[in-house]
Structure 1
């Protein structure tokens, strides 16, 4: 089964690292992959042979669920079977590799299970010091049509760009904004009928922010000149500045503490295994 386990690790690591099957990698990538597979295989071997692993069980149900998850990642059972065949993997071999992987995951969960909860006062101190990380400025739900300024192209020279945006604004009186965005806008949002979605104050051009301060909801702006060109915007909705209260942030801080603490304990434990 060792060969099957290594084949599984090769396929998994090649997909995670290069988004390719192992047989599609060049010689340099193949050499790097072999080194990674050897390293992961040896680490897994140490974990499953550790004292902590002796009391950990992986059920047939666990293995079958993991196997079915692998199948679900393909478009069909036939595609999954073809992929297995192309990589030299058998059903028995894949299940053995999955069982080994599940065992390692369960052992790591076991050895890092006793992480103490983040003290509330420590979480509060962090929140107060980093409150800006849990806040946002004014936010608007916007659509836009953009005509860029580029002196290298006749139609995008400043005077022509201004004429074009004014022409489009006039057409907005009797033609749907989304249709005009698709036809004229030079922003990627044109493919979404001009919809930009929710935009935060600090990520918008200041000229647009200034216009939004006076623009009524649902109204079409006058052409707005920025460093990239001329914009027409529609504000669909707006949200005031917001600072998340501590009680809202606390679960996130606790979860992040738990994740980091578990990761640290697991790394320390694996380093100890490696040194032995």
Structure 2
């Protein structure tokens, strides 16, 4: 029997297993009743679409090489220890031959969808330019800051982290940095109680809406190379250093051209595929009964 075949009723277990893991990260038997019903509906819809694609005229002559199926099989197998994949399949009433057949079907559906897009015109630079100038708001980059910070937490369960002790510790660090601000990274590595201490306190590029409001407001007022006063958040006390200022700007057409062209090309392909699938799945109009009346 060819591995490229239409689905049988027994194959529904494969689709249900796949959807359960994709949607809920669990096996079908571990799903709640409502989740199981949802997964079953999605799986049934997927089967309906795949069957329609495989029966379509466009699928005629599409052959998936056995090596491509084996590559897909090996990709799945790489997620399991040796022998565990076969055990997992058996636990759901499936076997290697059935899974390979399903993989062949999926690969064939993908190939048919690629065939449907054959002949689509390439997105030109003019097309990209028209989209860019019609959607300038999509290419606005907000202001940002590259920052480091030092955190001393407040925790009354530890004497060195009571509010008074934590404040005294951060003030001592701030005093040292006022005379030698270039030592901020060193002080962060030595004293900060944030995981970023291992990166010398580097927070990275901070965009609006990332930090606690009181920290963010101060950071965006700092000049490059400037250190903040002691700041407080629900976590404790902070010192911030602005490493670099990135002003708000609009990405140029030249900057976005390659990626935007790929995006528009992909959007065009998906639109063609959706249109084709919709026509494929649309039921035939009922023939009017001319004999009555």
- Normalising by structure 1, we get a TM-score of 0.79
Task: Report the more deviating stretch, 78-87 or 107-116.
Answer: 78-87
Which residue is equivalent to 1:136?
A: 141
Cα deviation digits, residues 176-204 of structure 1 (max 9, x gap)? 4223113xx4xx64575533112246756
Which residue is equivalent to 1:37?
A: 43
Matched, 1:15 2:38: no
Picking from 24, 28, 40, the partner of 2:30 is 24
Matched, 1:86 2:91: yes
Distance 1:234 1:168 in 2: 13
Distance 2:256 2:273 in 1: 26
- Larger Rg: 1 or 2? 2
Cα deviation digits, residues 67-119 of structure 1 (max 9, x gap)? 11111233x22332332222222110110000111111111111122322234
Question: Which SS does the other structure have where 1:89 is aligned?
Answer: coil
Distance 1:29 1:178 in 2: 47
Picking from 108, 118, 126, the partner of 2:131 is 126
Picking from 159, 165, 170, the partner of 1:165 is 170
Question: Which SS does the other structure have where 1:10 is aligned?
Answer: helix
Which residue is equivalent to 1:180?
A: 191
Structure 2 unaligned runs (5+)? 1-6, 156-160, 284-293
- Normalising by structure 2, we get a TM-score of 0.75
Question: Which SS does the other structure have where 1:95 is aligned?
Answer: helix
Distance 1:156 1:122 in 2: 62
Superposition RMSD in Å? 3.4
Aligned length: 264
Task: Report the more deviating stretch, 36-45 or 137-146.
Answer: 137-146
Which residue is equivalent to 2:58?
A: 52
Per the TM alignment, residue 65 of structure 1 is displaced from its structure 2 partner at its CA by 0.9
After superposition, the Cα gap between the structure-2 partners of 1:122 and 1:144, relative to the gap in structure 1 and judged at 3 Å, is same
After superposition, the Cα gap between the structure-2 partners of 1:109 and 1:2, relative to the gap in structure 1 and judged at 3 Å, is same
